[in-house]
């Protein structure tokens, strides 16, 4: 914070202004970031994951910056490979990921050790980040593969 701002606040306080609330200002209110537009933006993204912010702003007749705030801040989407995707995995996605890892782990138990060891290392690194490739005996014990 700059000293200029501190001096400005001190002079306002000396002039009798004690309210910490913003004074009403002239100008147009930001009406674009409302619940109705948020629902409409979400519907547009679910219909076409490759939709661009410009197209969203044109369809809803709002500024591109407001469309960006709705998509990123309110809905929590981000752009991955030209598609809008949620930032956080849902519980269903997490459950599916665990099921796939369990199937792969079961396949590791039933196939030759030499063939599946590299796959086990990658799987272990995904399940337990930071697993060392050098400590293969503890890796096999953690995965239940001895």
Give per-residue pLDDT as tens, 124-138: 555 555 554 445 555
CB contact set of 135 (below 8 Å; sequence gap of 6+): none
Domain range list for the chain: 35-86, 91-142
Q: What is the mean pLDDT of residues 55-78?
A: 90
pLDDT of residue 10: 85
Split at pLDDT 50, 70, 90, the class of 39 is: very high
pLDDT of residue 22: 73
Split at pLDDT 50, 70, 90, the class of 40 is: very high
Q: Specify burial of residue 24 (Cβ count, 10 A radius: 0-12, 13-18, 19+).
A: exposed
CB contact set of 139 (below 8 Å; sequence gap of 6+): 120, 121, 124, 131, 132, 133
pLDDT of residue 56: 92
């Amino acid at each position: 914070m700059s000293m200029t701002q501190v001096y400005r606040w001190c002079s306002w306080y000396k002039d009798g202004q004690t309210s910490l609330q913003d004074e009403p200002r002239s100008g147009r209110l930001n009406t674009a970031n409302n619940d109705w537009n948020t629902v409409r933006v979400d519907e547009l993204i679910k219909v076409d994951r490759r939709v661009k912010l410009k197209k969203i702003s044109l369809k809803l007749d709002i500024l591109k910056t407001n469309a960006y705030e709705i998509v990123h801040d309110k809905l929590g989407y981000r752009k991955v490979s030209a598609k809008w995707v949620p930032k956080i995995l849902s519980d269903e996605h997490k459950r599916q990921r665990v099921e796939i890892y369990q199937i792969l782990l079961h396949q590791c138990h039933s196939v030759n050790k030499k063939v599946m060891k590299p796959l086990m290392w990658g799987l272990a690194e995904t399940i337990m980040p930071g697993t060392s490739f050098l400590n293969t005996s503890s890796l096999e014990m953690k995965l239940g593969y001895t």
